[in-house]
Amino acid sequence: MCCLPPTSRAKAGSPLFEIYEPRITGPSSLSYDGGHPLMIIREVQTSKLAADGKGVSISLTPKDRKKLAALTTSYLGRYLALRATDKIAEIMHITGVIRDGRLEFKYPEEENIAAYLRDRLNLSATTSLQQTPAGNLAESAADAANAAAGITKGAQAEGKGKEKMSSSATAHSEPESVLKSQLEAILGKSNRNVPRVSDVRITGTNIAVRFSVDDNLTENLIRGSAMSDLRNIIKTVHDSAYPYSEVAVAGTFSLRDKFGNSQEEDALRATYKRSTVGRINWTGFATDNIYAIADDVWLHPSFEKKIPLKDLQVPMP
């Protein structure tokens, strides 16, 4: 790898890039709130070309490093949009807290953003080699050795040994993946050996979600958890800013037949039109009305029993 001297400023003009929370705007498109970036990057501590001369690795300044660590902690398991220009952006799936401030953009996976950074930071194999001080060259050699051993700067700094910290982000641009990540974040992990959110499909303006109902201490609490999950799902879909017309949700649970055999089956199916969800006052809405307001609903017999309000002890986000 080749590198530039510390604290590389981008060419004069707009910020190097900005980071936003992405929003779903169509079946195959994403956008972000252009007026409210979560973070603005104007300069980097170091920048390096990959061995192929096309990929780019950057290390943020100490101040921005702390900001990125805090931001990726808040968005762990979710998505962030990195915007370079109106036409160049990347959707990043945050799979780990980025503590070392290092971001890598590989070729050809992130070709557009890598080419943009090479231009903005004046990166080329020739100029990088000429401008690399001896100290930085030694640092690059050490970085290469650590990378071969599966160790990043962040791992070394925190004494993690060979436990590799996630210091880069994987790009995903499918709206279904973004929405699924948001739903997984709000519902949490399953307490059964099944996926919490098994499927999210977007067809035109229709959204279909399949999730698993968590187990609980009593049958009433299981039914209550299902209602709370359903409430959170339709609210998350509505808040995503996706222009949906209808959302259909199916919740599954391990149900036992009369022969004593159990298998994962649909326990509930509910459909809500956008006009219906838009009428909900979430602050005053009672979760036990979630089935009553549905435009269409079906419940497995074991989920049909009425739940007394005194037993409906489900958390409200």
The predicted-structure confidence for 11-28, as pLDDT tens digits, reads as follows 456 899 999 888 766 655
Residue 309: pLDDT above 70?
Answer: no
pLDDT at 283: 92
Q: Which residue type occupies 147?
A: A
pLDDT at 47 over 80: yes
Residue 75's pLDDT band (cuts 50, 70, 90): confident
Question: 171 phi and psi, to 5 degrees?
Answer: -85, 130
Q: What is the pLDDT of residues 208-238, one digit of tens each?
A: 999 999 999 888 899 999 999 999 999 999 9
pLDDT class of 280 with cuts at 50, 70, 90: very high
Q: Is the pLDDT of residue 137 over 90?
A: no
Does a structural domain hold residue 317? no
Name which residue leads in pLDDT, 156 or 88.
88
- pLDDT on residue 27: 58
Give the domain-ending residue among 147, 171, 195: 171
316 in a domain, yes or no? no
Do 161 and 184 share a domain, yes or no? no
Q: How far is the CA of 299 from the CAs of 108, 223, 261, 270, in angstroms?
A: 48, 11, 20, 8
Dihedrals phi, psi of 253, to nearest 5 degrees: -155, 160
b/e sequence 282-305, b meaning 16+ C-beta within 10 Å = eeeeebbebbeebeebebeeebee
Find the mean pLDDT for residues 270-288. 95
What pLDDT was estimated at residue 144?
40
| 132 lies in the same domain as 199 | no
Q: 201 Cβ partners below 8 Å, 6+ apart?
A: 176, 207, 208
Same domain membership, residue 307 and residue 191? yes
C-beta separation of 116 from 88 below 8 A? yes
Same domain, 21 and 91: yes
34 and 131 part of one domain: yes
Task: Give yes or no: residues 163 and 180 share one domain.
Answer: no
Per-residue pLDDT at 34: 58
Q: For residues 43 and 40, what is the distance between their CA atoms, to the nearest angstrom?
A: 9
SS3 content of the chain, % helix, strand, coil (to 5): 30, 30, 40
Strand runs (DSSP E) across the chain, as ranges? 2-3, 8-9, 17-20, 22-26, 29-32, 39-41, 43-49, 56-60, 79-83, 89-93, 102-105, 170-171, 197-203, 206-212, 246-256, 262-273, 296-299
Q: Are residues 181 and 253 in the same domain?
A: yes
Percent of the chain with pLDDT over 70: 72
DSSP state, 196?
S
Across 30-56, average pLDDT: 85
If one counts the domains in the chain, the total is 2
Q: Same structural domain for residues 273 and 289? A: yes
pLDDT at res. 199: 94
The mean pLDDT value of the chain amounts to: 77
List the CATH number of the domain containing 135. Answer: 3.30.1360
- Among residues 140, 171, 202, which one ends one of the domains? 171
